[in-house]
Structure 1
């Protein structure tokens, strides 16, 4: 009788860092669970302490204690006849990050090449660590873009939020918090719409420059013929 409900909860017992069944599970203040070693390694390699799943930042590093109840449930899960979820396939050698590639922020040993960057999490992911963004309800609405090594430049220095708007009044990129505070009442548009408008303006300018160059080249040829 216990096997059916446990089967439906298999994902709840998976660490989102190593994508395997939790080992020595620990819980952090935001409510997410990870393997003790995975979380320790992740925090030891970062200058800030944040949840690898929801990216919530903690001002002080939380003390990690094993979740005994969850640990016992996982032990019982392993004793059932349910087969554990298959491990993700090992990426081929060409997926390792090379010179010029954007590295995955969550690979703890040899870094794999990132296939997407998340503008919401401000992190880059290899194919394996990107899967929670496609499967988890909390992450699937995040904005994914091609790998970008300059994610921090897309962050508002004042509010530490993504730059999503363009203030036409002040001619600068702003976050949503800026739009509700010091830029309140200004003329604002979505950053993507402003980028498209700037591209159209640049295209028109380049066409005009090209036309003028062709006219000057024609005038120069006529002058040379007259001199001859």
Structure 2
């Protein structure tokens, strides 16, 4: 990918880096405001440029030199500020790590045809999507996404879905010895002993560790 282009949002929209730079300070926008002629500037940069003009005096756009009879009242462009802030965070993030063969890759980067494959940091069991460091950021910031369940990166999330109910296999039926979804526990597995998959996995690891330890003691 050309270094002059960057993914500006979690949706992986590619935009030129210049789109996020103030034409006055040549830095990524801070509190961007939009003039009536449609140009964006850092709020502080525009206030400095117009510092000599009073509220009732004419001033000009620093980009196109369009004159304004009266100094426009500027307010921060909230939507564009969010994009600029996201771009700043992604630009300062450490370089993406390439996925090893057989390792889960970021599905968002893959959809954007990123090459090489970018290694995933986490997989979301609600979105059924794996994310790299940059694309995981919304799950750490947006309230609704923060409630999603994240796990270690998994290469095949579809395999974690119940074929009957198309729901996450988040329970384990100890009677039938198989993973099930919550709908299964209310239908054909009703009344069975069901626990969270994580609990079953944890207990198996403890049992295995105990068995290995016991074998070592008897051998000594």
With the length of structure 2 as denominator, give the TM-score of the two structures.
0.57
The aligned residue for residue 104 of structure 2 is 102
Counterpart in the other structure of 2:12 = 18
Match of residue 174, structure 1, among 180, 193, 199: 180
Matches of 1:92 and 1:124 in 2, distance apart?
18
Point out where structure 1 has 5 or more consecutive residues left out of the alignment.
1-13, 22-73, 215-228
> Which residue of the partner structure matches residue 165 of structure 2?
159
Provide the residue aligned with 2:195 in structure 1.
Answer: 189
Deviation of 1:117 after TM superposition, in Å, equals 1.0
Please point out which of 206, 209, 214 is paired with 1:208. 214
Aligned to 1:192, the other structure's residue is in SS state helix
How many angstroms does 1:186 deviate by?
1.3
Q: Deviation of residue 80 (structure 1)?
A: 6.0
Report if the CA contact (8 A) 2:173-2:193 is conserved.
yes
For residues 139-165 of structure 1, give each alpha carbon's deviation from its aligned partner in whole angstroms, at most 9, with x where no partner exists. 111111222213233222222211111
**C-alpha distance in structure 2 between counterparts of 1:204 and 1:93, whole Å:** 41
Aligned residues: 149
Partner of 2:145: helix, strand, or coil? coil
Partner in structure 2 of residue 45 of structure 1: none
**Change in CA separation of 1:125 and 1:197 when aligned onto 2, cut-off 3 Å:** same
Q: Give the one of 137, 142, 157 matched to 2:143.
A: 137
Shift of 1:122: 1.7
Inter-CA distance 78–131: structure 2 relative to 1 (3 Å threshold): farther
- Where 2:143 maps in the other structure, the secondary structure is coil
Aligned to 1:117: 123
Distance 1:183 1:207 in 2: 35
90-99 or 104-113, larger mean C-alpha shift: 90-99
| Corresponding residue for residue 58 of structure 2 | none
| Separation in 2, partners of 1:166, 1:119 | 16
Residues in 2 aligned to 1:113 and 1:204: alpha-carbon distance in whole angstroms: 34
Report the alpha carbon displacement of residue 17 of structure 1 after superposing the two structures with TM: 0.8
Aligned partners of 1:95, 1:211: CA distance in 2, in Å?
Answer: 42
Task: Give the SS at the match of 1:159.
Answer: coil
User: Secondary structure of the residue that 1:106 maps to in structure 2?
Assistant: helix
- Normalising by structure 1, we get a TM-score of 0.55
Q: CA deviation at 1:79?
A: 4.5
1:92 and 1:204 mapped to 2: Cα distance? Answer: 40
Q: Secondary structure at the match of 1:149?
A: coil
Cα deviation 1:39-66 (Å, max 9, x = unaligned): xxxxxxxxxxxxxxxxxxxxxxxxxxxx
